[in-house]
């Protein structure tokens, strides 16, 4: 776990960054809409891309801080909210529609029919599923097979997000949920942050009484499995 003082310091830095980043992105957007100079467009496009990446990192840090505050404030008797799994997954797919169109994965989705409510805060789970699917889309070649599956067994549900992509090296697997840990790989890194995404997913899972595991065979398959309590 991240030390509380470290996370608070990171959050303070992230807050300070949001102001100048909003100015940079605002001016970048204005220039892109008003100029037709190719050299200027290339330079400002690069500035905008880097600015959006920095803004995403700041957002991730602030969201992690909000999650840790939620964990610290929760009491054993506090009610745990729930949400419809299908609704959350569909909203994530809508949010990532531009990336899905760009990466063109062979995407398959198998979710329980009818109502399937799982325990946890919708907002945090939305971001957790978004991180997992973004990793599958962004870290692998275009048109990679990606599957989202969920299977209910009694009072639990297992959610799997798997891909038949480049995989995770065996030496990296034990550290994949460590804060700030990043698998070093070439290719498209535009969507990647500072190594807090999977740590956030692990913390969300633990916060709401679930368990997460990962298995991977390099160049063949990677699968993240989350086991959660479900409501009938």
Q: What are phi and psi of 111, to 5 degrees?
A: -120, 155
Tell me the two tokens of residue 67.
């999650």
pLDDT exceeds 80 at position 194? no
Residue 186's pLDDT band, with cuts at 50, 70 and 90, is low
Residue 193's pLDDT band, with cuts at 50, 70 and 90, is low
Distance, CA of 169 to CA of 176 (rounded, Å): 10
Report yes or no: 155 and 119 within 8 Å, Cβ to Cβ: no
pLDDT digits (tens, 9 = 90+) for 44-97: 999 998 998 888 888 888 888 998 888 888 787 888 889 999 999 999 999 999
At 13 the pLDDT is 87
pTM of the entire predicted model: 0.84
101 Cβ contact partners less than 8 Å away, ≥ 6 residues apart: none
Q: Select from 216, 203, 215, 138 the least CA-distant residue to 177.
A: 203
Tell me the two tokens of residue 185.
């790989």
pLDDT exceeds 70 at position 188? no
Q: What share of the chain is helix, strand, coil (3-state, %, to 5)?
A: 50, 20, 30
80 Cβ contact partners less than 8 Å away, ≥ 6 residues apart: 119, 120, 208, 209
Residue 101's pLDDT band, with cuts at 50, 70 and 90, is very high
Distance, CA of 114 to CA of 163 (rounded, Å): 26
The DSSP symbol for 166 reads S
Beta pairing, strands 211-217 & 82-84: unpaired
At 185 the pLDDT is 63
């Amino acid at each position: 776990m991240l030390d509380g003082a470290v996370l608070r310091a990171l959050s303070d830095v992230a807050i300070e960054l949001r102001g100048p980043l909003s100015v940079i992105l605002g001016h970048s957007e204005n220039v892109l809409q008003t100029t037709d100079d190719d050299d200027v467009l290339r330079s400002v496009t690069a500035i905008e891309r880097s600015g959006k990446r920095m803004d995403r990192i700041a957002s991730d840090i602030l969201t992690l801080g909000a999650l840790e505050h939620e964990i610290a404030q929760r009491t054993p008797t506090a009610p745990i909210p729930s949400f419809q799994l299908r609704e959350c997954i569909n909203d994530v797919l809508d949010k990532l529609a531009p990336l899905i169109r760009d990466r063109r994965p062979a995407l398959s989705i198998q979710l329980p029919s009818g109502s399937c409510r799982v325990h946890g805060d919708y907002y945090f789970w939305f971001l957790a599923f978004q991180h997992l699917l973004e990793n599958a889309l962004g870290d692998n070649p275009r048109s990679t097979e990606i599957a989202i599956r969920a299977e209910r067994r009694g009072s639990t549900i297992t959610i799997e997000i798997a891909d038949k992509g480049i995989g995770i090296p065996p030496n990296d697997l034990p550290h994949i949920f460590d804060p700030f840990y990043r698998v070093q790989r070439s290719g498209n890194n535009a969507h990647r942050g500072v190594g807090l995404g999977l740590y956030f997913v692990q913390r969300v899972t633990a916060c709401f009484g679930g368990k997460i595991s990962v298995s991977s065979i390099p160049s063949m398959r990677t699968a993240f499995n989350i086991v959660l309590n479900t409501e009938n």
